[in-house]
Amino acid sequence: MAKNLLIVESPTKARTVRKYLGPDFEIKASVGHVKDLPKTRLGVDIENNFRPEYVTIKGKGKILQELRKAGKKAEAVYLGPDPDREGEAIAWHIAEELDGNDKKIYRVLFHELTPKGIKEAMASPQSLDRKRYESQQARRILDRLVGYQISPLLWNKVRRGLSAGRVQSVALKMICDREKDIFAFEPEEYWSVTAHLEADAPPPFKAKLWRYEGKKIELRDKEQTESLCQEAKGHAFRVTKVTKRKKKRNPPPPFITSLLQQEAYKRLGFSAKRTMAIAQGLYEGVELGPRGQVGLITYMRTDSFRISDDAVKDAREYVAARFGKDYLPEAPNRYKSPKGAQEAHEAIRPTSVDLSPDEIAQYLTKDQLALYTLIWKRFLACQMAPLIYEQTVAEIEAGKALFRASGSVILFKGFSVLYEEKEMEENAAQAEKGKKEGAVLPPLKKNQILKLIELEPAQHFTQPPPRYTEATLIKALEENGIGRPSTYATILSNITERDYVKVEKGRFKPTELGFLVVELLEKSFPEIMDVKFTAQMETDLDKVEKGQIKWTKVLEKFYASFQKALAKAEQEMRGEVPTGVKCPKCGRAMVIKSGRNGLFLACSGYPECTHTTNFVRDDKGRVVAIESGAEETDEICELCGKKMVVRTGRFGRFLACSGYPECKNTKAVEENGNGRASPDIKCKECGSPMVVKRNKAGQQFLACSKYPACNHTEPMTTGVRCPEQGCDGVLVERRSKKGRIFYACNRYPSCRFLMWDEPYEGSCPLCGTKVLRIKRAQNGSVQLLCRKKGCDFSRPLREHVAEAGDGDQRQLERA
């Protein structure tokens, strides 16, 4: 009969631990938290030192009953939830429930679920850590005070279902601020000049214009650039200086939570939430056939780069055996943890380097294998020798112009033989294509005369700051001290699920609702929305955990100003945001409001003036009203069957469903109000003209103008002939299962030609490849490129069409 009781929080963890402890222990799982603040009320007695009111979580009563029953029979109780603040709170609440049993209660910390890790934890039981628990409690109460007092305010002033959070609202503000920066951005034109050169020996190489008359030069227009090119062509290209230097790149540190989330997103496309769920499973244990249940990684919520001496020793032995001693540094690599890191935790690493991904692949899911491989390789790489390369920089003179070429050759791969960082991979790929400095240079010497193949001027435009991806937002939150590694996944999940942001091409774009909530909160609660204030709160909570400040003092300091702001907001917040738009009926300012069917513009003179209308934002973020007056047409919406009406938006007149906002179908119109016709394309069923329409996914297609009498549809044609020899098909627009548009031959499956970029009818002037591709930049510039790999043809589309004298209206529209 078992003498002791061990309680962990996960059934999977319980199974892993059970096989190592033997019959002296009964092992139970709490299945996460057992107590929390009540859902239906604030649950915090503000007048009584912020005393929390904990209740048993719904569904956990039976589990607590089983734990109490098992506790009565045990001589000692060991509490082994995760070794962090949340785990400490779980342990504390369980201990409170078992305290009436008058048993010895110990806290054990499992940093890794291996025989050694479990044995060490059980051999050195501890007392419950009140400071860590109180830090978690203070964080929980702070989040409750903000969420449960601001959210109802938003429900009353804006609409039900909205929420605010102490950290999530600041993260949303960062996303909205980035979007405002993009709106405010003014692209600036600049030019570059690239010399394509040949030396006595291959390969050909490129050199960028670096200086002119000994100074850095900024080329701002085409005329200046062409003038400089003509001048340079009149001179010999002579090597004036060749510099060679050996450089090294040190291996990256092992993973901490934030770095794992960032790298898993960049390499594997995993969201932070998905990454943490997979990592939790790897930590708690996976069934490995004859080996049984094995914990594969150390605890995954950590901000420390510390690695145990035993783990370092194992890694060095593995590297020496597999790669040789040359790949091993003389002394182990050590990495400095961020300020305030919990050094009791280790970095995320495999529990055994001998469990290589190849050896256990058959027991893991695809996602588990991908993440485990990443962790395993990164850990070994952090204990390997640096990469060593030789960088060559050549300066090349052509009259007053000075060009510079850079190339590098790897002399020793070091850690990169096992783990190549994403940036290194991308740079190497670009260098191979000659698009980035770093490609291999031929042998060069001082005063050597080079052959000029081509002098290539190129127009560029400065780019706005990019929207945040999950990886870059996590990095920004970490750099600004917002939240903690264990909270990032929840933060990102909340703002997405609340419809405050949408994800476009993997990047966060705020919705109008997101903008509205941020503007209201910034006005009423400037402290809570302040990045520095939120970061200071995180620092104070860390101080609670270290015993440097009492948890109630943190809450008192926060609530003193928050209570005043809350009272003021209850009186003054109006749930609307002013705009620069004037009401067409009375001339008063229009404001953005939220209604049952979404956001709309309303006159601020309500109820005297009841004018409302829909709105959009232009490319500078300015609110533009869409006039509500709409001409009816005879056309029927193919999505819901209601009539289409003509409306006016920022791009002119368009057809929209009269059932808006329930149905949001739109398409282009001509002045006669009908769908944009394609008179040269006739319906194959009835001979009527085909018109351009859009489906729910936004993809254009051709449909018979006699709908619903005729239901014939066809893919959207580009008019570009298929380049495959002997094929008489044309390229049509299609959409992949993941929603990405591509262009394929309409004779599929007889012809399987496809391309991802928009096609252009014509041949490459350099290599003769039929059908070019169109690339559109965010700044509006449109480039024509060759689709053949290795061909560098590139030219502005409008310039090409103008010079070619192409009369095809479709080509001119693209330009």
Out of 78, 212, 299, 389, which one is annotated catalytic?
A: 299
Q: Compute the residue count for the chain.
A: 815
* Identity at 697, one-letter amino acid code: A
Q: How far apart are CA 614 and CA 649, in angstroms?
A: 10
Helix (H) / strand (E) containing 147 = helix 130-157
Strand, helix or coil at 458? strand
**Partner residues linked to 6 by β-bridges:** 27, 78
Of the chain, the end-to-end C-alpha distance in Å amounts to 82
Instruction: Write the DSSP assignment of 26-85 as a string of letters.
Output: EEEE--S-SEE--SSS--EETTTTTEE--EEPTT-HHHHHHHHHHHHH-SEEEE---SSH
**Partner residues linked to 538 by β-bridges:** none
- The answer to whether 345 touches 304, Cβ cutoff 8 Å, is yes
Dmax (CA) for the chain in angstroms is 96
Backbone torsions φ then ψ of 57, nearest 5 degrees = -65, 140
Contacts of 620 (CB under 8 A, 6+ apart): 183, 184
Packing angle, helices 85-98 and 130-157, rounded to 10: 100
* Identity at 291, one-letter amino acid code: R
Angle at 636 between CA 635 and CA 640, to 5 degrees: 155
CA atoms within 13 A on the CB side of 418: 29
Strand, helix or coil at 411? strand
Instruction: Count other Cβ atoms within 10 Å, centred on residue 325.
Output: 10
Give which of 704, 712, 673 is closest to 688, Cα–Cα.
704
Tokens of 761: 């009818």
Active-site annotation holds for 299: yes
Q: How far apart are CA 382 and CA 574, in angstroms?
A: 55
Instruction: Write the DSSP assignment of 317-339 as a string of letters.
Output: HHHHHHH-GGGS-SS----PPPT
Q: How far apart are CA 379 and CA 116, in angstroms?
A: 19
**What are the residue numbers of the active site?**
299
